Amino acid sequence: GSISLEPNRRKEISDLLVGVFFEDINYAADGGLYAELIQNRDFEYSLSDREGRDKSWNAMHSWSSTGGVNVIIDTTHYIHINNKHHALVNVGSAGALRNTGFDGIVLRKGQTYEFSCFSKLMNGKVVQANVKLVRPNGEVLATQKLSVSTVKWKQQSLVLKATADEDKASFEIEFTTPGVVALDMISVFPQNTFKGRKNGLRADLANVIADLHPRFIRFPGGCVAHGDGVHNIYHWKNTIGPLEARKPQRNLWGYHQTAGLGYLEYFQFCEDVGAEPVPVVAAGVPCQNSVGGQQGGIPESEMDSYVQDILDLIEFANGDGKTTWGKKRIALGHPKPFNLKYIGIGNEDLITDVFEARFVKIHEAVKRKYPDITVIGTVGPFYQGTDYVEGWKLADQLRLEMVDEHYYESPGWFIYNQDFYDRYDRSKSKVYLGEYASHLPGRPNNLETALSEAIYLTALERNGDVVTMASYAPLLAKEGHTQWNPDMIYFNNQSVTTTPGYEVQRMFSVHGGNEYISSNTVIDHRDNAVMKRIGTSVVYDRKTGDVIIKVVNLLPVQCDLKINLNELLMGEVPAKLITLTGEPGEKNLRPQEKDIRLSRDRVYAFPPYSLSVIRYRTS
Ligand code: AHR
């Protein structure tokens, strides 16, 4: 067979094609990317987070007391109305308040950890304590003295340095004198967060995401963005400012969101990895417009204020010091605007009258005030392709600039629908493929699923004039705490495991381009089923002057292809060949990179079950 490049048939394609979708699902945020080590630091866990299924899920979750220490949860003396629960600790005789973290606390020898908490005396007697990080056998690995001496809430912080490695440490406040104290926002944060940011991200996880070189980051969901009821909608204003004043809430995936990883941290992360921020806000309706099974949305009478919140978000991101929300961002320590260009309104919502009325209102208001911001609408859920009809009707009517499509399908679907976007009308809205992944029974992320995504990505590159962005979903999953599989990156407290799907995303992201060069692929075996299992695409990256050829071989046999570079290569040049290959069921694979010589019309062997990238410089 052969691939013949047609250098005169080129088109401009999106240079934002591959990005990431971040949602707090599978413990992606608290207990995951957000580096806080204390679980339930705010004592705000509540039975309702898990719909009453787990009786231990209450304000004392992860906490216990020992010896003469008695703890009750109180809501009367709160630091902030958004965070009412706090611990009232009655110290009769020596004892401790203990937290076991998220499945234990990982300590590394020589690393420093910042402890902080709010405390106040309840009966006027100064209380002395030691804060400690301890092994399961009680051995102390770090300790500092703490004195509670004020009758008003006071925040204190101390640095703890671990003297040894431990994967299952716990945190203790050991009380050495009697008295009664109130405690809240008890936090232990590693100081080696990603880029050293305060209230920052777990460095190893953030680095693996950064290594994807995502062109954009979508946040905070997914379903988390619109919640599963009007009262569960994610409101960005509740997630900025002092941690004790942020508004924690139930995560619809069955746990708790502290909002410690909030809008400022999301924007900061985008900036730190060089990705365009793509916040997605609810279109005034919750998941599938549901409120206890009924259709519903934010009441009409509250919509003006909700629309204002969305306008304020744009001002928060982009406004200068003369604007109310720009001033707030500056006060929070970020003088430079975040240069927000995109905003998603709605997530996979049913296109009902309730949705439509609210969406139209938000869209109009955003475009009126910020004509340069691209509004990304939603075309609803995808069931055998039929349900986009209403969504696209609305998109056409409103002449939306971009719509968000989602689908989770089998490898066969991705292989047989490579022409999905070939058929799209170029005069209509652009597409953000906001969620997609290839699903097999048992939901693995293996080479088979990854290569079916890779073959689809060659089609997305070919359609990069209509598909502006695409993000695999979901991004993160904590082992033992998944509500959804497959995911792109798995992790536990100690380590991070990438998947074949991750490697595919990375190969397409790192080796993306901004011009698509047409090519003609001819396979010797002219059987449709065989041809569908070979995917090719060629892009040109103007920044580097590189031509990048991608070949996906989903056949169980090697595929020999002559690459006719035509006028794109005169003689012979050095090139890089990066190959991801293995058995279809394999889950632990890395691409291999080698230097090759590339010349016109040479035959290259593409191994069975592989994605290959050939990259060379033209000038
Ligand atoms: O990615 C997981 C979920 O799938 C998202 O929260 C939702 O948008 C979709 O249904």
pLDDT tens digits for 161-209?
Answer: 999 999 999 999 999 999 999 999 999 999 999 999 999 999 999 999 9
* The predicted structure's pLDDT at residue 103: 96
Greatest pairwise CA separation for the chain in angstroms: 87
Between the CA of 348 and the centroid of ligand 1 the distance, in Å, is: 8
The atom number, within ligand 1, closest to the CA of 435 reads 1
Beta-carbon count within 10 A of 350 CB: 18
User: One of 44, 172, 315, 348 is an active-site residue; which one?
Assistant: 348
Cis peptide before 260 (omega within 30 of 0): no
Q: Whose Cα sits closest to atom 8 in ligand 1?
A: 222
564 residue type, one letter:
N
pTM of the model: 0.97
Closest CA to 278 of 192, 370, 343: 343
This complex has an ipTM of: 0.99
Is the pLDDT confidence value at 384 over 90? no
Nearest to 364 by CA among 311, 313, 323, 408: 311
**Whether residue 473 has its Cβ less than 6 Å from ligand 1:** yes
Q: Is 287 helix (H, G, I), strand (E, B) or coil?
A: helix
What's the start-to-end Cα distance of the chain, in Å?
28
CB 307 within 8 A of CB 361: yes
What average pLDDT does this structure show over 523-538?
90
Q: Determine which residue's CA is closest to atom 9 belonging to ligand 1.
A: 222
CA–centroid distance, residue 400 to ligand 1 (Å): 22
Tell me the CA–centroid distance for residue 420 and ligand 1, in Å.
21
How large is the average pLDDT for residues 399-414?
A: 97
Token pair 């006071």 is at which residue? 154
DSSP string, 300-348: HHHHHHHHHHHHHHHHHHH--TTSHHHHHHHHTT--S-----EEEE-SS
pLDDT at 381: 86
Look at 53-57, 138-142, 428-432 and tell me which has the smallest mean pLDDT: 53-57
Q: What's the pLDDT tens digit per position in 214-270?
A: 999 999 999 999 999 999 999 999 999 999 999 999 999 999 999 999 999 999 999
What is the band of 579 on the pLDDT scale with cuts at 50, 70, 90? very high
Angle between helices 324-331 and 300-318 (to 10 degrees): 50
- Atom of ligand 1 minimally distant from the CA of 484: 2
* Collapsed DSSP state (helix, strand, coil) of residue 39: coil
Q: How far apart are CA 93 and CA 87, in angstroms?
A: 17
CA of 40 to the centre of ligand 1 (A): 25
Strand partners, 118: 155, 184
Separation CA 462–CA 99 (nearest Å): 52
Instruction: Give the pLDDT score at 291.
Output: 59
Q: Please give the distance, rounded to the nearest whole angstrom, from the Cα atom of residue 572 to the centre of ligand 1.
A: 47
Mean pLDDT of 38-64: 92
Nearest CA to ligand 1 atom 3: 222
Distance (Å, whole) CA 162 – CA 142: 5
Q: Assign 383 a pLDDT band (cuts: 50, 70, 90).
A: confident
| pLDDT band at residue 600 under the 50/70/90 scheme | confident
The reply to whether ligand 1 has any atom less than 6 angstroms from the CB of 435 is yes
* Ligand 1 atom with minimal separation from the 347 CA: 8
Q: Which residues contact 489 (CB under 8 A, 6 or more apart)?
A: 205, 208, 209, 475, 476, 477, 496, 497, 498, 499, 502
What is the C-alpha to C-alpha distance for residues 577 and 591, in angstroms, rounded to an integer? Answer: 10
The residues that bridge with 406 in the sheet, in sequence order, are 435
What is the Å distance from ligand 1's center to 371 Cα?
29
Ligand 1, from 404, 435, 487, 488: best to mutate by most atoms within 8 Å of Cβ? Answer: 435
Pocket flag, ligand 1, residue 349 (CB < 6 Å): no
Q: Within 13 Å and on the Cβ side, how many CA atoms surround 68?
A: 10
In short, whether 512's Cβ falls inside 6 Å of ligand 1 is no
3-state secondary structure of 95: strand
Q: In this predicted model, what pLDDT tens digit does every residue of 259-283 receive, in sequence order?
A: 999 999 999 999 999 999 999 999 9
Residue 23 CB–ligand 1 contact under 6 Å: yes
Instruction: Judge whether residue 425 has pLDDT over 70.
Output: yes
Find where tokens 């695999």 sit.
Answer: 472
Q: Answer positive or negative: Cα dihedral of 522, 528, 533, 535.
A: positive
Average pLDDT over residues 352-372: 97
Distance between CA atoms of residues 342 and 339, nearest Å: 9
Q: Which domains does the chain have, with CATH numbers?
A: 47-190 (2.60.120.260)
Ligand 1 centroid to Cα of residue 439, in Å, is 14
pLDDT at 601 over 90: no
* Per-residue pLDDT, 399: 97
Q: Which of 2-11, 362-371, 428-437 has the lowest mean pLDDT?
A: 2-11
Distances (CA, A) of 311 to 87, 117, 315, 388, 486: 38, 34, 6, 27, 35
Question: Hey, which of 224, 290, 347, 485 would you mutate to test ligand 1's pocket, going by the most ligand atoms within 8 Å of its Cβ?
Answer: 347
Q: What is the pLDDT of residue 596?
A: 95
Considering the chain, what is the average pLDDT of its residues? 95
**Residue 217: which of 269, 262, 176 has the closest Cα?**
269
What is the whole-number distance in angstroms between the Cα of residue 384 and the centre of ligand 1? 17
Cβ(42) to ligand 1 under 6 A? no
32 lines ligand 1 (CB under 6 A): no
How far is 279 from 268, CA to CA, in rounded Å? 13
Ligand 1 pocket, residue 484 CB under 6 Å? yes
The finding on whether 541 has its CB within 6 A of some atom of ligand 1 is no
483-499 mean pLDDT: 98
| 8 A C-beta contact, residue 283 and residue 226 | yes
Q: Does the structure show a pLDDT above 80 at 53?
A: no
Distance (Å, whole) CA 403 – CA 388: 10
Nearest residue by C-alpha to atom 7 in ligand 1: 222
- Least confident stretch, 81-85, 414-418, 584-588, 601-605: 601-605
Question: Phi first, then psi: what are they for 10, rounded to 5°?
Answer: -125, 155
613, pLDDT greater than 70: yes
471 and 20 Cβ atoms separated by less than 8 Å: yes
pLDDT beyond 70 at 385: no
Establish whether residue 466 lines the binding site of ligand 1, counting it when its CB lies within 6 angstroms of any ligand atom: no
Residue with tokens 């002559």: 562
Per the annotation, the verdict on 461 as an active-site residue is no
What type of residue is 338?
A: F
Segment 283-303 shows an average pLDDT of: 82
Helices and strands (DSSP H and E) totals, the chain: 11, 33
CA of 21 to the centre of ligand 1 (A): 10
- Tokens representing 200 are 């920052």
pLDDT of the residue at 524: 84
Distance, CA of 285 to CA of 226 (rounded, Å): 7
Residue 386: what pLDDT?
Answer: 66
In this predicted structure, the answer to whether residue 56 has a pLDDT above a threshold of 60 is yes
Cβ atoms of 106 and 493 within 8 Å: the answer is: yes
d(CA 65, CA 435): 44
Q: Which of 24, 406, 488 to mutate to test the pocket of ligand 1 (most atoms within 8 A of CB)?
A: 406
CB atoms inside a 10 Å sphere around CB 389: 12
Q: Is 408 in the pocket of ligand 1 (CB under 6 A)?
A: no
Highest mean pLDDT among 291-305, 518-532, 535-549: 535-549
CB atoms within 10 A of CB 579: 18
Q: By alpha-carbon position, which residue is closest to atom 5 of ligand 1?
A: 222
Q: Percent of the chain at pLDDT above 90? A: 90
- Note the pLDDT tens digit of each residue in 81-105: 999 999 999 999 999 999 999 999 9
